Structure 1
Amino acid sequence: MIKGIIFDKDGTLFDFNATWGAWTQQMLAAEAGGDHVKFDALADVLGYDAQANRFVPGSIVIASTVDIVADHILSVLGDVDKGALIARMNTGAAQVTQQEAVPLAAYFASLARLNLKLGIATNDAEAPALQHLEQAGVNGYFDFIAGYDSGFGAKPEPGQLDAFCTTTGIAAAQCAMVGDSTHDLVAGRAAGMKTIGVLTGPAPQAELAPLADVVLPDIGAIPGWLRAERLI
């Protein structure tokens, strides 16, 4: 039986490209300072298609921490203060309007009625993650919320997931990890959880399937799958 579900955030609760596509265009333009050569180089190292306002499958942005993304940006910009860059990225990210993969308030209310313990494990920083969940009106549903900077490490390592189990008192075998990237699913497997892939991020089904117990179109399909598998 599944008693706890821990979710990735970007690309899982929120559609990845619909949320971050246009904002990234603006962010890269600001960091490039009007230099088109630098802009194109930034888009290239981040795996970003500026014409389509989309990230390509395999982009490092999909599952990496802001620290790693900043390192890639600095590989183009050179002598820029990393701490200041990360601060700008986190401040800007916190203000981005999130495009919900499904209507989240109703969705998490329905999961709460199933008496499931719920958590968030994101490679985003904790502060913007909390703001995004608050904006969606769902932060009160979670028993555990961790960003990469919350003290438990980052995915694909399982530290955040282990901490969820410790916090809730639920064994990993009775938990499911839900995410849109291989980082999410690798972390779930390492923690000993069921793994559920969703297709609301850039990664295609073929990339997720080898690491997932199931790949679903979005998180809305999870309760039906759990019932069909007699896991709730």
Structure 2
Amino acid sequence: MSRVPVAEPLTVSAVLLDLDGTLLDTVPDLHAAASGMLRDLGRPELPLDSIRSYVGRGIPNLVKRVLSASLAAAEDASPPPQDALDSFRRHYAVENGRNSLPYPGVIAGLDALKAMGLPLGVITNKAAAFTLPLLELSGLAAYFDVVVSGDLLPKPKPDPMGLIWACGRMAVSPADTLMIGDSVHDFHAGRAAGCHVFLVPYGYNEGQDVRNLDCDAIVPSVENAAQRIRHRTATQIKNSA
């Protein structure tokens, strides 16, 4: 798929969105939890920008990256030390949602998507124990028809399993679905599922510039994404068959 020109709205039947780095800036909470974990382990804390660069593959990989102060730690398939993981989760249960905020244009964008009658879903690698409270605390939960957390299915992003499962729950084809994310993992998951893909340039991309990816569009906000699409209704699908 090539990028969609602004003058040609993309027609879709549903929209899936990433959570951390796309809808919410959750780094302040993650940094507080990581700092608590490092204090528990008697280790020096890391700056917030380091934590920002490590986000993207779920909490176990975040813990490994924090402990090694390296992005490459996520390439090691071994789990993080259990005491560190338990400590992080304990602190994050307290910090989750305290300082996370929607990015500019998120609320207006979600309102516009709902006004179009589009079913919406969240696809995140964050565990359900943190995803669901975060959506409630941030006021975003009511927007979504389906939530796929990182531990719901056997394979998280960049595997397409969660996107395909969500499309099934919403009774739409992946080919008629738009994935909006902020990272290379969202891009690869969306492409592998057969979805259209919009990417925002402001999120957690693990040091990779998403503007180099062959997505359908780079959008400055979720609100802008909503302005570039229209709802393909069931009647339109039937008539085009």
Q: TM-score, normalised by structure 1?
A: 0.78
Paired position in structure 2 for 1:6: 16
2:220 is matched with which residue: 188, 196, 217? 217
**1:13 and 1:104 in contact (8 A); partners too:** yes
| Partner Cα distance (1:179, 1:14) in 2 | 11
Flag the 1:127–1:39 CA change in 2: closer, same or farther, 3 A: same
How far apart are residue 84 of structure 1 and its match? 1.8
1:39 is matched with which residue: 33, 36, 44? 44
| Partner Cα distance (2:158, 2:171) in 1 | 22
Q: Which runs of 5+ in 1 are unaligned?
A: 44-49
| Partner Cα distance (1:208, 1:157) in 2 | 21
120-129 or 86-95, which deviates more: 86-95
The superposition leaves residues 34-91 of structure 1 with CA deviations (integer Å, 9 ceiling, x where unpaired) of 888x326xx4xxxxxx1xx32488x332x11112223334558x96525523532541
Larger RCO: Structure 1 or Structure 2 (Cα < 8 Å, ≥ 6 residues apart)? 2
What is the 5 A alignment of 1:44-83? 50=47, 53-55=48-50, 59-61=53-55, 63-73=56-66, 81-82=83-84
Flag the 1:26–1:98 CA change in 2: closer, same or farther, 3 A: closer
Flag the 1:148–1:56 CA change in 2: closer, same or farther, 3 A: closer
The DSSP-based 3-state class of the residue aligned with 2:24 is coil
| Partner Cα distance (2:31, 2:133) in 1 | 22
The DSSP-based 3-state class of the residue aligned with 1:133 is helix
How far apart are residue 104 of structure 1 and its match? 4.4
Q: Which runs of 5+ in 2 are unaligned?
A: 1-10, 70-79, 234-241
Paired position in structure 1 for 2:8: none
Paired position in structure 2 for 1:29: 35
**1:74 and 1:80 in contact (8 A); partners too:** no
**1:28 and 1:39 in contact (8 A); partners too:** no
How far apart are residue 226 of structure 1 and its match? 1.7
Flag the 1:98–1:30 CA change in 2: closer, same or farther, 3 A: closer
**Which residue type is aligned with residue 37 of structure 2?**
E
Flag the 1:79–1:145 CA change in 2: closer, same or farther, 3 A: closer
How far apart are residue 109 of structure 1 and its match? 2.9
2:161 is matched with which residue: 155, 159, 175? 159
**2:112 and 2:223 in contact (8 A); partners too:** no
**2:15 and 2:119 in contact (8 A); partners too:** yes
How far apart are residue 103 of structure 1 and its match? 5.7
What is the 5 A alignment of 1:31-180? 31-33=37-39, 38-39=43-44, 43=46, 50=47, 53-55=48-50, 59-61=53-55, 63-73=56-66, 81-82=83-84, 84-102=86-104, 104-180=106-182
| Partner Cα distance (2:130, 2:38) in 1 | 23
**2:93 and 2:130 in contact (8 A); partners too:** yes
Aligned length in residues: 212
* Identical amino acids, percent of aligned pairs: 25
Flag the 1:35–1:144 CA change in 2: closer, same or farther, 3 A: closer
**1:143 and 1:168 in contact (8 A); partners too:** yes
Flag the 1:55–1:3 CA change in 2: closer, same or farther, 3 A: farther
